[in-house]
Amino acid sequence: MRVLVLNCGSSSVKFAVIDTVTKEALSSGLVENIGVDGHIKAKGPVGKIDVHFNCPTHAEAVAEMQKFLLEQKLIDSIEAVGHRVVHGGKYIKAAPVTKEVIDYLRSIILFAPLHEGAHATGMEVAKKFFPTLPQLAVFDTAFHQTMPRKAFLYGIPYKYYQELQIRRYGFHGTSHRFVSAETARILGKNPEDLNLITAHLGNGSSCSAIKAGKCVDTTMGFTPLDGLVMGTRSGSLDPAILFFLNKKLGFDIDRLDRLVNKESGLLGLSGLSNDMRTITQKAAEGHEGAQIALEVFCYKLAREIGGITMALPSLDALVFTGGIGENSAVVREKALENLAIFGFKIDKQRNLESGKNSGHIISTGGSRPLAMVVPTNEELLIALDTEEYAKSIKK
Ligand code: AMP
C-alpha cells in the first residue's frame, strides 16, 4: 500500500509517500516558512523541486504538495494518510482522525504549544484534500503509556496529576518502538525475550528502557525538555535555577522558556553550535567550548541511561539511533566509556564502520550487554500503522 505520511509543524509540512511493501519512500519533501515566504523542497520518481511560492496557511502548503505528487504521478495511488503527532495526551495508541481527535489536540495545546495546534490544523486541511482516504493519527507519546505509575509520576502533589494531568509522557515513542522491534528482528529474537535501552540521539534526544517490548521508563517528561542535554535544550535541570534567574536577572517566563529551549544544550555549553558534527570537529581541533559541550553531553547521556536501566531486570543491549546515535562514533565511544560499570566492551573498528557497512553490533564478541546501532525510520512505522488501520476498516 502507498501511504502519505504527514508531519505538520507550526510553519512547515514534512511529507513522504511510503510503499509499505518495499518499505521505501517513493517521494519525500518539506514545505517550510508557511505564513512568511513559502518554500517547497521535494523529490520523487519524476524529479525534484525547489521553489518559493505564496503560502499564507497550511492549506496552500498541502495544495502545493498535492500538485507536486500529481506531477510525480503518485497522487492517485495513495490509499491512506498517516499523521505524526508529538503529544497524544490521553491516547494510548494511534487513533483514526476524527473531529473528536482534532478537538482534543486543540484542548491540550499547552502541553506542546509549538506542535498541537499545527497538527490539528494539518489534519483538518488533509481531511479536506483527501476526504475519501482513511487517516490515522500516530502519537509520539503512545509507546510510553505502558510506563508504571512510579515511573510517570513526579514528586509534586498528586492532585496536579489528577486535575491537570501533569506526569511524564515521554516522546520519540514511534522511534523507540521501531528501533526496539528492529533490534529484536536483527538479533533473531522475540521482543518479549529482550530488555533494551534505546538511545534516540538527534537534535532532540531521549532514552527509553524497554522490557519485553514495552516501555517501562523514558527520559523525556511532561514535555520534550526533560532528560538529556540536547541541541539547544538544557535537559533536566534543578527547577530552582529558574527561580534564581527570575530573582537575580528578572527573567520572566518567556525569557526562561527561550533560555532552556533555544539557548542551552550543545549550543549554550559550547557558545558555538547546536550541531554535533561541528561540536565533535571543533572539539578535536581543541576548541574548549566544544570540548565542554561534548563532555557534558556524553556524561549526562550515560547518567540518564544508568538511571532508567534500573527499571529493567537485566540489560541485553544498548541501541543507538537518530542523527547523532547513527552517525557519531565519537559520541558512542565516549558514552560507552562512561557506562563501563555495565561491562560494555566497544569494538573501535566496528564502531567507526557502523552505518557505513550497516553492521549493527559495535561491541566486542564477548561483550554483554551488546552495544548496537540501528537506524530509525519513524515514517515507515507510521505508514505501517496506517496501512493496518486502513485494511481493518475495509474488512
Ligand atoms: P536528527 O535530529 O535525528 O536529524 O539529528 C540531527 C543531529 O545529528 C545534529 O546534531 C547533527 O549534527 C547530527 N549528525 C548528523 N550526522 C552526524 C555525523 N556524521 N556526526 C555527528 N553528528 C551528526
Beta strands 195-201; 370-373: pairing state: unpaired
- 284 within a domain of the structure (yes/no): yes
Q: Are residues 128 and 215 in the same domain?
A: no
Cα 231 to averaged position of ligand 1 atoms, centre (Å): 10
Closest-lying ligand 1 atom to the alpha carbon of residue 274:
10
> Is 277 close to ligand 1, i.e. is its CB under 6 Å away?
yes
Instruction: Decide if 265 is inside a domain.
Output: yes
> Do 135 and 194 fall into the same domain?
no
Over 80: is that where the pLDDT of 103 sits? yes
Helix residue ranges, H only, 28-79: 58-71
Query: What does the pLDDT look like over 352-388, one tens digit per residue?
Result: 998 665 679 999 987 789 999 999 999 999 999 999 9
User: pLDDT grade, residue 10 (50/70/90)?
Assistant: confident
Atom of ligand 1 nearest to the CA of 201: 3
Q: Which residue has its alpha carbon closest to ligand 1 atom 8? A: 323
Q: How far apart are CA 392 and CA 395, in angstroms?
A: 6
C-alpha cell at 337: 566509556
Average of pLDDT values for 260-267?
96
Q: Which of the four pLDDT bands, split at 50, 70 and 90, describes residue 66?
A: very high
Residues 198 and 329 in one domain: yes
pLDDT per residue as tens digits for the range 139-163: 999 999 999 999 999 999 999 999 9
The predicted pLDDT at position 357 comes to: 59
- Best CA proximity match to 320, nearest among 179, 171, 143: 179
Number of domains in the chain: 2
Question: What average pLDDT does the chain have?
Answer: 95
SS3 for 208? strand
174 in a structural domain: no
pLDDT at 356: 62
Q: Tell me how far the alpha carbon of residue 328 lies from the centroid of ligand 1, in angstroms.
A: 7
CA dist 339 and 333 (Å) reads: 10
- Of the listed ranges 54-63, 105-114, 213-222, the least confidently predicted one is 105-114
Please tell me the distance between residue 183's alpha carbon and the centre of ligand 1 in angstroms: 21
Going from the Cα of 15 to the center of ligand 1, the distance in angstroms, rounded, reads 20
**Are residues 127 and 270 both part of a single domain?**
no
In short, whether 205's Cβ falls inside 6 Å of ligand 1 is no
Q: Is 202 in the pocket of ligand 1 (CB under 6 A)?
A: yes
In this prediction, residue 366 carries a pLDDT of: 78
Which one of 109, 139, 169 terminates a domain? 139
CATH of the domain at 225: 3.30.420.40
Q: Are residue 259 and residue 364 in the same domain, yes or no?
A: yes
Average pLDDT over residues 182-198: 97
Q: Are residues 118 and 199 in the same domain?
A: no
CB within 8 Å of 310: residues ≥ 6 apart = none
Share of the chain above pLDDT 70, in %: 99
pLDDT at position 368, please?
86
**Do 304 and 195 share a domain, yes or no?**
yes
Residue ending a domain, choose from 104, 139, 174: 139
Q: What is the 3-state secondary structure (H, E, C) of 150-177?
A: HHHCCCCCCHHHHHHCCCCCCCCHHHHH
AA identity, residue 148 = P
Dihedral sign, Cα of residue 261, residue 263, residue 269, residue 272:
positive
Q: Ramachandran region of residue 250, left (φ > 0), alpha (ψ -120 to 50) or beta?
A: left
Query: Mind listing the pLDDT tens digit for each residue in 281-303?
Result: 999 999 999 999 999 999 999 99
- 172 domain-assigned: no
**CA torsion through residues 119, 122, 128, 132, sign:** negative
Q: Do 134 and 220 belong together in one domain?
A: no
| Sign, Cα dihedral of 328, 334, 339, 341 | positive
Kindly state whether residue 178 falls inside one of the protein's structural domains.
no
* Any domain includes 156: no
> Is residue 197 located within the same domain as residue 132?
no
User: Which pLDDT band holds residue 234 (cuts at 50, 70, 90)?
Assistant: very high
The reply to whether 296 falls in a domain is yes
97 lies in some domain: yes
Residue nearest (by alpha carbon) to ligand 1 atom 17: 327
Residue 115 — very low, low, confident or very high, per pLDDT cuts 50/70/90? Answer: confident
The residue whose C-alpha atom lies closest to atom 18 belonging to ligand 1 is: 327
Tell how strand 317-321 and strand 195-201 pair up: parallel
User: What is the set of active-site residues?
Assistant: 140
Looking at ligand 1, which atom is closest to the CA of residue 278?
Answer: 12
Q: Are residues 132 and 204 in the same domain?
A: no
How many Cα atoms occupy the beta-carbon half-sphere of 243 within 13 Å?
3
Are residues 133 and 201 both part of a single domain? no
Mean pLDDT computed over 22-47: 96
Ligand 1 proximity of 265 Cβ (cutoff 6 Å): no
Instruction: Using the mean position of ligand 1's atoms as its centre, give its distance from the Cα of residue 165 in Å.
Output: 33
Type of residue found at 159 = K
366 shares a domain with 217: yes
Q: Which of 30, 200, 203, 205 to mutate to test the pocket of ligand 1 (most atoms within 8 A of CB)?
A: 203
Q: What is the per-residue pLDDT for 354?
A: 83
For residue 394, the model assigns a pLDDT of: 83
Question: Ligand 1 centroid vs 294 CA: distance in angstroms?
Answer: 13
Range of the domain at 106: 2-139
Query: Tell me: the pLDDT tens digits for 269-280?
Result: 999 999 999 999
